Structure 1
Amino acid sequence: MGTEFYKLSSGEKTLKIVNFLLIFLLCLMIILPFLNVFALSFNPGKDAERGGIFFWPRIWSLENYHEVFISSNIGSAFAVSAFRTILGTISAVFLTAMAAFAVKSKTMPGVKFFTLVIFFTMLFNGGIIPYYMLLKSVHLTNNIWVYIIPSLYSAWNLIIMRSFFQQIHPSLEESARIDGYHDLAIFMRVIMPLSKPVVAVVTLFNAVNHWNDWFTGAFFVRDAALRPLSTILQEMLASAEAMRDTLNQAAGTNYELLDKIQVTGNSLKMATIIIVVTPIVLIYPFVQRYFAKGVMIGSLKE
């Protein structure tokens, strides 16, 4: 632990050791289940039913992933997911940040009323049927923009960004106004550069929500070519599990037919989890460092 550890008192050493053990156990609780899913996704499902597979496949196989990717809609579904995640995240973060910058101002007329309205939407909603009727009335059902436009604003993300903006010292904004900056210039050149931590957090929230959302594609889109990856995989998983159960029942005691069944509903589920989770896992390290980074330290001297 370094030479500094030996300079601590016995109580401080005990506290550090306990903290280290708790963090280590927490990491194991997160990593080990993921390794188990990874191992099962690369192992034939029929063999995995025997048990004994924990963190490494007993028999390496790509059959589960082959079963997922043979779907003719996978390519277009991946493109739809990438489109909605990239465009939806960028537009939502930018517009939410602009709205948060507006309602953080105490001098804006009606700011308390607008803040109350925003908070009210976190407590109540109209329900799924009125929501569907609204989408249909504005021609967003069975339209790729149903993934983008309704999710442009999130009351929770707006409040998070507003709270962070309010922590930025007012003298920075006052100095910018003295230099002739208008509101948009202050927002782009002063507020946003100092708000990388909250922007990173809200960006990750939006990206994960867009990438994992299967509900919108399943209930508001009829065209299979417009459905995102999560929806296609969820439908594929449901149909595969039903098909495997039917095939198992039909096979009965026909062991030759049973031996040919290598992909099970559970193994397909594991492969689906890995496919959906991997992009987020790859992106997360690039934004994680902003979460607790104090970029405001040293930015202002009184």
Structure 2
Amino acid sequence: MSTPSTSEAELVRSEEAVPRRSHLDRNPWWGDLIIHVVLVVLGLVTVLPMVNILARSLSTSASIAGNPLMLWPTSLTMEAYLYIFETPVLMRSFGITVFVTVVGTALNLFFTTTAAYGLSKTYIPGYRFLMWLVIVPMLFGAGLIPTYLLLKGLGLINSIWVLIIVGLVSPFNLILMRNFFWSLPAEIEESARIDGASDLQVLWHIVLPLSKPVIATIGLFYAVAHWNDFFTGLFFLTDSSKWPLQVVMRSIIIDQSMLGMGGGNAPNQDLQKIVVSADNIRAATIIFSIVPVLLAYPFLQRYFVKGIILGAVKG
């Protein structure tokens, strides 16, 4: 009788060491059924309101009055969207929001990246004090009135730049990116410094190319925050000509003052009095405001989970 070789014996021991999953560890069929039913219900609760809004934006006012809970557009019309594109107030606010999102996200990433890279070096003098300067504002806020007085002293009230300067660096995003930089092997940077690279060269040529997942994740956080920012424009911008899209949407949805926004430039005004109503324009404005985020998210989704996991490895 031949004895098994060493490799075969090790393979047998490794297989025996792996715990086998018995039928007792699996969910019963009714448990899986309950889980799937709950997930389907939650999915419908999330999706159906958006489907209703989309259907209302593509239907006539008479169809909406007859069936407000529609899930499919009836009497299909694009007049609400044509009205939006011909309305100066909405298009100006859309341009302001795009400018704030693009420029603000770029500045956010620049300052967050440079600060996070510096804080990832625990040997710098005053490291603990600097970390407390980041953590304390994340836990405690100064309040609305001190913030208003500060921005007024800086001359940012009624300036578009207040939408960018406020929240220029998020402490949560800073710590997340700092943890990612901290998790990178130190040997990579040491080898570059031996070759004569400076700190900026190491950051630009080595650290940033390895940090695409976390940069995409933090960039998505900042971009969505800028796009959906409502309170900053509401509190610090009294000039309605500088309002971002979300503040204008609030005026449309709550104040219901939208049919006069187009002025004399609104197309087919006689037809719109019949076809387009406040419900049409409210629904079309909501869809109009979320489409850019929906278009950008699929391209960044593959970085999203990876960036969060890698940024939370250390800390």
Q: Which residue of 1 aligns with 2:229?
A: 213
Q: Distance in 2 between matches of 1:217 and 1:46?
A: 35
Find out whether 1:270 has 2:286 as its counterpart.
no
Deviation of 1:50 after TM superposition, in Å, equals 2.6
Q: Distance in 2 between matches of 1:14 and 1:168?
A: 43
Deviation of 1:150 after TM superposition, in Å, equals 2.0
Deviation of 1:86 after TM superposition, in Å, equals 0.6
Higher mean alpha-carbon deviation, 92-101 vs 144-153, is at 144-153
**1:146-195 per-position Cα deviation (integer Å, ceiling 9, x unaligned):** 11222221111101111111111111111121121111111111111111
Residue of structure 2 aligned with 1:222, choices 238, 246, 254: 238
Q: Distance in 2 between matches of 1:84 and 1:163?
A: 27
SS in 2 for 1:49: helix
TM-score normalised by L of structure 1: 0.79
Q: Distance in 2 between matches of 1:272 and 1:89?
A: 23
- Unmatched segments (≥5 aa) in structure 2: 1-20, 261-272, 311-315
Aligned length: 274
Alignment of 1:254-269 (within 5 A): 263-269=276-282
Alignment of 1:97-136 (within 5 A): 97-136=113-152
Residue of structure 2 aligned with 1:280, choices 281, 289, 293: 293
Deviation of 1:48 after TM superposition, in Å, equals 1.7
Q: Distance in 1 between matches of 2:130 and 2:208?
A: 22
Rg larger in structure = 2
Q: Which residue of 1 aligns with 2:168?
A: 152
**1:69-119 per-position Cα deviation (integer Å, ceiling 9, x unaligned):** 453322322221111111100110121011111111110111111111211
Change (3 A) 1:59 1:21: same
Q: Which residue of 2 aligns with 1:202?
A: 218
Change (3 A) 1:242 1:176: closer
RMSD, matched Cα: 3.2
Find out whether 1:175 has 2:184 as its counterpart.
no
Q: Distance in 2 between matches of 1:109 and 1:66?
A: 59
Q: Distance in 1 between matches of 2:289 and 2:188?
A: 42
Residue of structure 2 aligned with 1:76, choices 76, 92, 108: 92
The one-letter code sitting in structure 1 at the alignment partner of 2:196 is G
Q: Distance in 1 between matches of 2:211 and 2:292?
A: 25
Work out the percentage of aligned pairs sharing the same amino acid. 38
Q: Say if 2:252 and 2:258, in contact at 8 Å, map to a contact too.
A: no
Change (3 A) 1:242 1:92: closer
The one-letter code sitting in structure 2 at the alignment partner of 1:93 is L
Deviation of 1:234 after TM superposition, in Å, equals 1.8
Deviation of 1:264 after TM superposition, in Å, equals 4.9
TM-score normalised by L of structure 2: 0.76
Change (3 A) 1:197 1:59: same
Q: Say if 1:46 and 1:263, in contact at 8 Å, map to a contact too.
A: no
Q: Which residue of 2 aligns with 1:162?
A: 178
**1:195-250 per-position Cα deviation (integer Å, ceiling 9, x unaligned):** 11111111111111111112222221233332222222221232326999xxxxxx
